[in-house]
Amino acid sequence: MRVYSASEAIGPAWEHTKALMWQDRRWGRLLKLSLVAFGAELGTSFNFNVNFGNGANNDRVAASILVAIAAVALFFGLLFFVVFLYLGSRLQLAQFDILVLRDSMVGPAWARHGRQTWRWAGLKVTIMIGVLVVLLPLLIPAIPIFVAFLKAARPVAGAPGHFPTLNWPVLLVAFAEVFAIALLAIMLIRFVTALVLPGVAMEDLRFGAALRRGWQIFRADVPGMLGFAILQPVFLFLLGLGLIAALLLVLMVLLLPFGLVGALLWTFVHTSGTAAWVLLGILGVIALFVVGAIWTVLYVASAGTLLMFARAWSLYFLGGRYPLLGQYLQPSPAVPVWTPPPSLPGDEDGGGGPGFPADPALA
């Protein structure tokens, strides 16, 4: 497989995605694969936001209640995070197989990676923690600003609450710094996981081996890797904005005929009593349901296609630098055929699924 630059990989990745998802215009398959693409994003990030009040009430009973509520919220938050992390990790591995093997059947792809899911989930969490540890020192300049803001916002005993007096431009700069570092963290996490995923999915590599394989690929073409890490999120962000604008336009087009019919009916029945108003309300609810259903289907299909394209773009960019992956994306008899390691007897799901085919021509 030829080595594509970040921009050159866009074309084949889009053709690959279009052939997989939009061939024959089968909406059932399209929506199924779109849901897989959405599910593959689960567990990528998770936020805990618990508000403990302003600290003015020091009553022990109230404090105990707040602590209990916080503990329950933390427990269920962690539970949901683990569930989403598992589902997202397994669907990410299934999405990888669907793209590489050009097979729209989700069941075999889901079953194939059962025993790898927790390892891949743990590796993703390790990457997230590593990126945060590296980037957290960049937040040090913003800490004094937020501390000063919190002190200024603290209410004075016996006095009504007041608006904090602070240098607001400086505070906005601090928020901008936090926002920029958060975006950088998301970009780095997605980039590193894209480098590591093929080794886990195709070669069943463990933690250290998968990270070393990703580092080898990165080190072999540092300028190209950095260009891809910058270009992909910017390009996808612009595509996302275009998609949102197009979907809003479609929504207005869908609402227009129903709005015209509703206005026409209103001119005839608004003076006809309660029964006419009830009928008009029922027709309005039906119209909103129909428009909402059509728009939701279009959103899932288009956004799912964009997410699947993003993964395919990463694969085609890495394919020329990872011969095993490239042999599946663009099979060539000149490249030796990879023989997968023997599968374990089963996994925690009791299936295990078929192994990766030894012959890329079967993909």
- Would you say residue 205 lies in a domain? yes
Question: What pLDDT shows up at residue 286?
Answer: 87
- The parent domain of residue 296 ranges over 10-343
- Would you say residue 51 lies in a domain? yes
Return the DSSP state at 348. Answer: T
Question: What pLDDT shows up at residue 152?
Answer: 64
- Would you say residue 2 lies in a domain? no
Overall number of domains in the chain: 1
Return the DSSP state at 59. Answer: -
Question: What pLDDT shows up at residue 281?
Answer: 79
| Ranges of the chain with pLDDT below 70 | 43-63, 150-168, 269-273, 332-363
Look up tokens 């080898």; give the residue.
216
Whether the CB-CB separation of 199 and 213 falls below 8 Å is answered with: yes
- Would you say residue 3 lies in a domain? no
Question: What pLDDT shows up at residue 350?
Answer: 44
List, in sequence order, the alpha helices (H) in the chain.
Answer: 10-21, 27-39, 60-101, 106-112, 117-135, 143-153, 168-203, 207-220, 222-269, 274-319, 323-329
Sign of the dihedral through C-alpha 81, 83, 86, 91: negative
**Whole-prediction pTM:** 0.74
Question: What pLDDT shows up at residue 22?
Answer: 84
Question: What pLDDT shows up at residue 305?
Answer: 92
Question: What pLDDT shows up at residue 349?
Answer: 47
- Would you say residue 250 lies in a domain? yes
Structure tokens at 227: 């260009």
- Would you say residue 356 lies in a domain? no
Question: What pLDDT shows up at residue 315?
Answer: 92
Structure tokens at 245: 């604008």
DSSP-derived 3-state class of residue 304:
helix
Question: What pLDDT shows up at residue 238?
Answer: 93
